[in-house]
Amino acid sequence: MPFSDYKTALVTGASSGIGAAVVERFRREGLEVHAIARSREPLERLADRTGCIAHVIDVADREQLASLAETVQFDILVNNAGVDRPKKFLEADPEDIDLLVDVNTRAVLHLCRLIVPGMVARDRGHVINISSIAGVYNFGGNSTYHATKAAVSMLSRQLRLDAFGHRVRVTEICPGRVATDIFAHVHGDTPEIRERFIEGFELPEAADIAEAIAFAVAAPVSMNVGHMEITPTLQVLGGLQTARPAARDGQPSKAS
């Protein structure tokens, strides 16, 4: 079902990064794009630049999401909004857990609940869920984030079962490291953080992820791109560590 068969799109987390790039890409196709974010100023600048329709909404606000879903019939839903609070789970704060579950998982569930039934009824629609390699692979210090993104991954598969028999397509986009400002949001915008995560690396840009999403949306109606794992060419996933038992003083030993 190419772009010409779709008229409207909803993109969350649209004020910057991948979300903003998707809005720009969809607008180039002539779609009416509704952009959701909490940050008013960058969202309004995006609206001025692209002609999208801006909605200053927290995706954790279920009532506002429901009101929007009742007003507009969306052909494309892009669940992009996400947050992270890196911390070992043994040291996790309850507020951080609630925030990540609310934004990364609960909002995705509710938006799908509000919008996908209409897609099924019209026999037309495409859901794009932005998950993460963190939903598939393990790395330290992000346990709650891993759990919430794994839920998005499973929901993406399950939606296809629930919408089976109708022309509702579901695509999970699973990015690795991408050159966006998410690292500044999570860790702080400092030279050290930019050097640690961005500078000197060959990384996909937000616009590259938007092009991958456009490829999935523009595919023929007979074709569902179910899962796209997108990583830098010079990034590999996985690894193996083995730890010796803790020392007698209770301090953990080094792993190798």
Per-residue model confidence (pLDDT) at position 186: 65
pLDDT tens, the chain, 256 aa long: 567 889 999 999 999 999 999 999 999 999 999 999 999 999 999 999 999 999 999 999 999 999 999 999 999 999 999 999 888 889 999 999 999 999 999 999 999 999 999 999 999 999 999 999 999 998 877 899 999 999 999 999 999 999 999 999 999 999 998 987 766 566 666 767 677 767 787 889 999 999 999 999 999 999 999 999 999 998 888 776 677 787 666 665 555 4
Q: Is the distance from CB of 41 to CB of 34 less than 8 angstroms?
A: no
137 is catalytic: no
Per-residue model confidence (pLDDT) at position 136: 92
> How far, in Å, CA of 33 to CA of 23, rounded?
7
Per-residue model confidence (pLDDT) at position 237: 84
Whole-Å CA distances, 57 to 32, 61, 238: 18, 7, 36
Question: In terms of DSSP bridges, do strands 168-175 and 32-37 run parallel, antiparallel, or are they unpaired?
Answer: unpaired
Which phi and psi (to 5°) does residue 102 adopt?
-65, -45
Other CB atoms within 10 A of residue 175 CB: 22
| Active-site residue identified among 3, 74, 145, 183 | 145
pTM score: 0.90
Domain extent listing, the chain: 3-230
Q: 3-230 falls under which CATH superfamily?
A: NAD(P)-binding Rossmann-like Domain (3.40.50.720)
